[in-house]
Amino acid sequence: MRNLLICFLSLPFLASCDKPPQVKVVHGEKILIINADDLCMNDETNNAIIETYQAGIVTSTSAFVTFIDAKQTLQHIHKGYPNLPIGIHLNLSEGKPVLPASEIRSLVDKDGNFFSIDKIISKLADMKIEEVRKELNAQVKLFLSSGVPLDHINCHHHLAALFTPFHTVMREISLQYKVPMRNPVPYTIYQKMKVNSGGGGSFAGKKMVIYGILHPFKSIPMMKKVGPTAFIEQERIDKEAGVGMPDWFIDAFFENAIVNNLNSIIQQLPEGISELMCHPGRPGEGKVLSDPDVRKNLEECHVRLGQFNLIRE
């Protein structure tokens, strides 16, 4: 029991894993993609993302297609801001699916809604991979039907990376449509980046930790499918398959939305292409991202802002 708890407590924050040898470094530069998740969730979030993009700090965004009028909203935003790269924020944990509930019974509750992130952890082992594949592909097809170019892919709550069987589907989509995706390994795993509040890390990852503590025996079958070793193995498979992705996924800004913390993250960025996950629609994040001190710090640290097209090139 003690070893099991230790394993789950260390899930998002294990220090003993070293980064695999990295091939792609762009002339020793530090390049940062600042990607805003949750586009098309609601007007408040959309406006916050656009404001931070116009402020010159957010460089790309990822859109839901599962919310009401998402396709029309996506088209409207792309028409107004054609140079804003938009990827898809694949969703298995909030609201309703694209497909009828009858086609994906293992993914939804009795009301036809996705299981919330609080409940889905206990449902993962019973969710059928073929139904995950059907739903995620349907979301991509809906995005493409909008006519908006697909820039990249990632998953809401980082769920398809944290539960590695689902990551197979992400890999398939990335390769099929020749678009980059988010690196499956949260940088907090390496414990090489310290921020003042000590927060950060995937929200879903923390839920998995809690579930592991409360239900240790149910968690045993999942042990090889979650955790740092599993994440790093998926990254290795991705690279061997030719998947394009940033060298690093910087998750430390999550729940760390103060200027000093963001500046600290920037100062500690590793060489190569990093993606910083942000949510301007969350209280306080947009103001922090747009703070003049952040732009000044980027310049002083010689960090160049970039987009996912650098990975394609």
What is the reported pLDDT for 195? 81
Q: What percent of the chain has pLDDT over 90?
A: 69
Mean pLDDT of 54-64: 97
151-197 per-position pLDDT tens digit: 999 999 998 888 888 999 999 999 999 999 999 999 988 888 888 75
Beta strands in 20-103 (DSSP E): 30-39, 60-63, 86-90
Residue 104: pLDDT over 90: yes
Please tell me the total count of domains within the chain: 1
What is the reported pLDDT for 213? 36
> What's the chain's average pLDDT?
86
What is the reported pLDDT for 21? 39
Q: Could you give the 3-state DSSP secondary structure of residue 168? A: helix
What is the reported pLDDT for 313? 62
Q: Residue 150 and residue 139: Cα distance in Å, rounded?
A: 12
Beta pairing partners, 275: 33, 249
Q: For the chain, what is the total number of helices (H) and then of strands (E)?
A: 14, 7
Residue 3: pLDDT over 60: no
Instruction: Compute the C-alpha angle 154/22/187, nearest 5°.
Output: 50
119-142 per-position pLDDT tens digit: 888 888 899 999 999 999 999 999
Residue 148: pLDDT over 60: yes
What is the reported pLDDT for 18? 46
- Sign (positive or negative) of CA dihedral 249, 277, 86, 226: positive
Residue 4: pLDDT over 50: no
The domain that holds 65 is classified in CATH as 3.20.20.370
Q: Which range among 76-90, 223-237, 239-253 shows the weakest confidence by mean pLDDT?
A: 223-237
Q: DSSP characters for 212-225? A: HHH-HHHHGGGGGG
Q: Please choose, from the candidates 111, 86, 83, the residue with its C-alpha nearest in 3D space to the C-alpha of residue 96.
A: 111
Q: Please choose, from the candidates 54, 35, 57, the residue with its C-alpha nearest in 3D space to the C-alpha of residue 248.
A: 35
268-295 per-position pLDDT tens digit: 999 999 999 999 999 899 999 999 999 9
What is the reported pLDDT for 65? 98
Domain residues for the domain of 30 are 2-312
Please count the other Cβ atoms lying within 10 Å of the Cβ belonging to residue 107.
Answer: 24
What is the reported pLDDT for 260? 94
Q: What are the tokens at 70? A: 């998402």
Q: How confident is the model at residue 230 (pLDDT cuts 50, 70, 90)?
A: confident
- Sign (positive or negative) of CA dihedral 251, 207, 231, 37: negative
What is the reported pLDDT for 211? 44
Mean pLDDT of 23-44: 86
What is the reported pLDDT for 44? 97
Question: Do the beta carbons of residue 170 and residue 87 sit within 8 Å?
Answer: no
Question: Do the beta carbons of residue 162 and residue 208 sit within 8 Å?
Answer: yes
149-159 per-position pLDDT tens digit: 999 999 999 98
Q: Could you give the 3-state DSSP secondary structure of residue 279? A: coil
Q: Residue 267 and residue 107: Cα distance in Å, rounded?
A: 41
Q: Residue 181 and residue 47: Cα distance in Å, rounded?
A: 24
